[in-house]
Amino acid sequence: MTAPITTASGTRSAARGGGSGTEVRRRRRVQHPWSIVAFVAPFAALFVLFYLVPIGVAIWQSLLVVEREGTFGEAREVFGGLQQYVLVFQNEAFWTSVGRVLLFGIVQVPVMLGLALLFALLLDSPLIRGKKFFRLAFFAPYAVPGVIAAIMWGFLYSPNLSPFEALTSRVDLLSADFVLWAIANVVTWVFVGYNMLIIYSTLLAIPQEIYEAARIDGAGQARIAWSIKIPLVRPALVLTAVLSIIGTLQLLAEPQTFRSFSSAVTSTYTPNMTIYATSSIPNVSLAAAFSVVLALATFVLSFAFLRFTRRAGADS
């Protein structure tokens, strides 16, 4: 009879101990929200100040119009509703620039991601030697600022300055027919290494046991890359594609720099250049309306691409 009594009392004591431990944990949890707030507050403040507030200011600014009392009266901004957005959809130069960057993205993004995937697969292959050197060599162009890269390639394209005069004297890479693809080459050269690292880091996370099982089944390196590696890095490819779509619609530094080399690049060559030129007039309200429309277009395209890839992945 003693053992059961002891066990019961021990059980009751343990229950009390467990209860007191729970109460202690509950008392400790009371302090946790303030700790979370302390850690999150700096990010939240910066996020609101430098992200949400500018978006709100841009939307409000896009709803304003400038009015004058008489021809030479003082200008003042008043609420104009959607008048600026009507002007946006009537602006042919803006929509021409949107179509130009969409054509740019349809060609440049698949080429860039294809090269990034190829380089990542080569770095992950056991047949390649000197991986550290090639990883650094592929990534090094990303360390070059976009403006510097555009200046460097602009000199290489210039017929009078290029060391490849035999080519540039026959094909004017800065003409209206080729300058868009000359810019695409610069963007590809800069960002292919960045996208390669994202894909390569995903390859490194794949368990080696999968490769060993494939080798036991007789699969070679090409078969492993096609049937195992590429399907497993699909999320990384989707991520890099979305980032590339956003970057394409925001193209600014490279074409803006190429204006010094080519007369074919106008002040409205890309949507962001159109916004910059409009704000320099100055017509800040119309520029804000351009920005809002461009942001919505970027969101719609990115979201549509994500939905398409998700459906394609579900069907496969």
pLDDT the model gives residue 12: 46
- Please report whether residue 49 resides in a domain: no
Over residues 10-29, the mean pLDDT reads 50
pLDDT the model gives residue 25: 52
Euclidean distance between CA atoms 71 and 272, whole angstroms: 31
Whether 257 contacts 151, CB under 8 Å: yes
| Tens digits of residue pLDDT in 35-78 | 788 888 999 999 999 999 999 999 999 999 988 776 676 778 88
Euclidean distance between CA atoms 280 and 79, whole angstroms: 21
Euclidean distance between CA atoms 202 and 229, whole angstroms: 9
pLDDT the model gives residue 13: 46
Over residues 221-233, the mean pLDDT reads 92
Query: Long-range pairs for 44-53 at CB < 8 Å and ≥24 separation?
Result: none
Over residues 213-233, the mean pLDDT reads 92
Specify which residues 68 forms β-bridges with.
75
Is residue 183's pLDDT more than 80? yes
Confidence of residue 105 (pLDDT cuts 50, 70, 90): very high
Is residue 6's pLDDT more than 50? no
pLDDT the model gives residue 136: 92
pLDDT the model gives residue 164: 86
Within 13 Å and on the Cβ side, how many CA atoms surround 235?
6
Tell me which residue range forms the domain holding 116: 82-315
Within 13 Å and on the Cβ side, how many CA atoms surround 100?
28
Instruction: Identify the CA nearest to 147 among candidates 193, 187, 200.
Output: 187
Over residues 286-297, the mean pLDDT reads 96
Total structural domains in the chain?
1
Euclidean distance between CA atoms 88 and 271, whole angstroms: 11
Instruction: Identify the CA nearest to 183 among candidates 262, 283, 267.
Output: 262
- Please report whether residue 1 resides in a domain: no
Say which range, 20-34, 200-214, 262-276, has the weakest mean pLDDT: 20-34
Is residue 21's pLDDT more than 60? no
- Please report whether residue 9 resides in a domain: no
Whether 85 contacts 289, CB under 8 Å: yes
Tell me how crowded residue 69 is: count the other CB atoms within 10 A of its CB: 9
Structure-block tokens of residue 239:
């991520």
Query: For position 143, which CATH number holds?
Result: 1.10.3720.10
| Tens digits of residue pLDDT in 233-268 | 999 999 999 999 999 999 999 999 999 999 999 999
pLDDT the model gives residue 27: 52
- Please report whether residue 170 resides in a domain: yes
Structure-block tokens of residue 16:
């009390």
Over residues 151-180, the mean pLDDT reads 90
78, containing H or E segment: strand 75-79
pLDDT the model gives residue 266: 94
- Please report whether residue 60 resides in a domain: no
| Region of 130 on the Ramachandran plot (φ > 0 left; ψ -120 to 50 alpha; else beta) | left
Is residue 128's pLDDT more than 90? no
Confidence of residue 9 (pLDDT cuts 50, 70, 90): very low
pLDDT the model gives residue 32: 67
- Please report whether residue 95 resides in a domain: yes
Tell me how crowded residue 25 is: count the other CB atoms within 10 A of its CB: 9
- Please report whether residue 12 resides in a domain: no
- Supply the pTM of this predicted model: 0.83
Tell me how crowded residue 4 is: count the other CB atoms within 10 A of its CB: 8
- Please report whether residue 115 resides in a domain: yes
pLDDT the model gives residue 107: 96
Structure-block tokens of residue 71:
């021809």
Euclidean distance between CA atoms 180 and 26, whole angstroms: 63
Question: Is 86 in a helix, a strand, or coil?
Answer: helix
Instruction: Identify the CA nearest to 297 among candidates 32, 99, 121.
Output: 99
| Tens digits of residue pLDDT in 74-101 | 778 889 889 999 999 999 999 999 999 9
DSSP string, 197-232: HHHHHHHHTS-HHHHHHHHHTT--HHHHIIIIIHHH
